[in-house]
Amino acid sequence: MISDLMQWLHLALRWFHVVAGVLWIGQTAFFSWLDTRMRIEVDDQGRERVWMVHSGGFYLIEKQTRPELVPKTLHWFRWEAAASWLSGIFLLVQVYYLGGLMVDMDSPLGVGAATAVGIAVLVVGWTVYDLLWTSPVARREGWASALSLALLALSAWGLSELMSGRAAYLHVGALMGTVMAANVWMRILPAQRATVAALEAGEEPDPAPALRAKQRSRHNTFLALPLIFIMVSSHFPTLSYGHRNNWLMLLGFIAVGFGARYAMNAWDKRS
């Protein structure tokens, strides 16, 4: 009975996680495309406007370079990120921390120590990333991006040495998901709220937080595709976490995901 209950819980969590992830990543992809088209389709009056058609309806969306006083109903996009991250953490606990997949015969750590390392990576990883991108180094995006990738590679290698390959892959994915969710809730939403508060007070919004929020949103679009691969990598163990150079394979797949996102951005500019 307990075993059946855990199976149903696992199935429900996994289904919920996938649905929430589809909604979140789909919204991210849509707004990335929309922002790209806005910069291209500027009318004679300097307005950034995009016409779209879907399901028999026509839609006109305009981007306000100088936001006006917001209406009573303002639509926020935030709960999809929270639902994706929370359900992912619950799955991580159930399948790995309690499910016996944290270590294998070659792991130098026990389950408890490997679990502590996994949790620490999520907390420290976000903290280091956030400090880096709020430091003066972030003014030179190329250097900050290179350093971020180097730290990600170091994390992938270190985790693959301390826990099972499958757990290492999922913790790299959990780190990416944590960064994405924290970007939404701790950097993007506060900047949006500050803009709304300034408008409601009749003040000119400070553009700096909005620009930083846009930067974090751009990071999220690049992290999404590698994260999706990691989610499905457990179905192909010999090509991913079971490979003798699993961490190098993971970095290769992450690079392919980044490249795919770059290609999608280039396609958005042409479509």
Would you say residue 63 lies in a domain? no
Is residue 254 included in any domain, yes or no? yes
Element holding 121 (H helix, E strand): helix 111-133
Mean pLDDT value of segment 66-91: 82
Per-residue pLDDT reduced to its tens digit, 10-56 = 888 889 999 999 999 888 888 888 888 887 877 777 778 888 888 88
CA–CA separation, 21 vs 142, rounded Å? Answer: 29
Rounded to whole angstroms, the Cα distance separating 82 from 168 reads 23
- Domain membership flag for residue 44: no
- Establish if 260 belongs to a structural domain: yes
- Provide the domain count of the chain: 1
* Predicted TM-score of the model (pTM): 0.89
Residue 180's pLDDT is 95
- Is 185 part of any domain? yes
Evaluate whether residue 198 is within a structural domain. yes
Can you give the residue range of the structural domain that contains 195? 84-270
The residue behind tokens 């003014």 is 139
Q: Does position 229 have pLDDT exceeding 70, yes or no?
A: yes
Asked whether residue 76 is domain-assigned, the answer is no
Kindly state the tokens that stand for 208: 């700096």
